[in-house]
Amino acid sequence: QLEDKFTELVRGFSSGDLGDLSSSQLNQVDAFQRRTIKEEKEITEKMAELQETVADSTMVELSHVVSELMRERGGSVNGVEEERVESTLGTKEEGLEDILQNADDLRLRTLKAILEVLTPIQAVHFLIGAAELHLRLHDWGKKRDDVGRQHRGTGGTGR
């Protein structure tokens, strides 16, 4: 009788890792992981394309024109050049906003897909772990920023 209770107790413990997932759950996780990786790659490629446009010939030419005008006018630029700069940067900013929105959407869809695969108790453990990770990363980032500020304050490089 004691042995049966011990076996039940041991079976009730979970390791909190992928070993707790059923084969069906693992297959589902594998499928959406593959989709997620494909979508991440697409987002990364779009970001790389956008970054290339930041230093494209249009931007270089615009930079030269504005710099020349600023030298000629003692640091000021007229409204036409300002509008041209704003228009050019505005399109790039909109592109960046779209990419960031796509990345946010992917993160949300991924989270929902994970939670749909997990049992309620697994989902709770997952969310607790995710929250702990988020908090630790935040703390580590703050500590690193503090160390950087201290180094800059004492003449160090900060990194």
pLDDT digits (tens, 9 = 90+) for 99-156: 999 999 999 999 999 999 999 999 999 999 999 999 999 999 999 999 999 988 876 5
pLDDT at residue number 67: 84
A 10 A CB-CB count for 114 gives 20
Are the CB atoms for 109 and 116 separated by under 8 Å?
A: no
Q: Which residue has the higher pLDDT, 47 or 157?
A: 47
C-alpha 11/C-alpha 74 separation (Å) is 78
- Measure the CA–CA gap between 70 and 97, rounded to whole angstroms: 30
Has residue 158 got a pLDDT over 70? no
Q: How far apart are CA 155 and CA 39, in angstroms?
A: 44
* Residue with more model confidence, 23 or 76: 23
Torsion over CA: 61, 67, 70, 75 (sign): positive
Q: Which residue has the higher pLDDT, 67 or 155?
A: 67
Distances from the Cα of 39 to the Cα of 48, 101, 109, 146, angstroms: 14, 13, 11, 36
Q: Quick check: 15 pLDDT over 70?
A: no
Name the band, by pLDDT with cuts 50, 70 and 90, for residue 33. Answer: very high
Query: What is the pLDDT of the chain when averaged over all its residues?
Result: 85
The one-letter code for the residue type at 86 is E
pLDDT on residue 26: 92
DSSP single-letter state for residue 20: G
**Residue-wise burial string across 76-85, b where 16 or more C-beta atoms lie within 10 A, e elsewhere:** eeeeeeeeeb
Q: Which pLDDT band, with edges at 50, 70 and 90, does 6 fall under?
A: low
Q: What is the percent of the chain with per-residue pLDDT over 90, rounded to a whole number?
A: 53
The answer to whether the pTM exceeds 0.75 is no
Q: Give the CA angle between residues 145, 96, 51 to the nearest 5°.
A: 85
pLDDT at position 1, please? 55
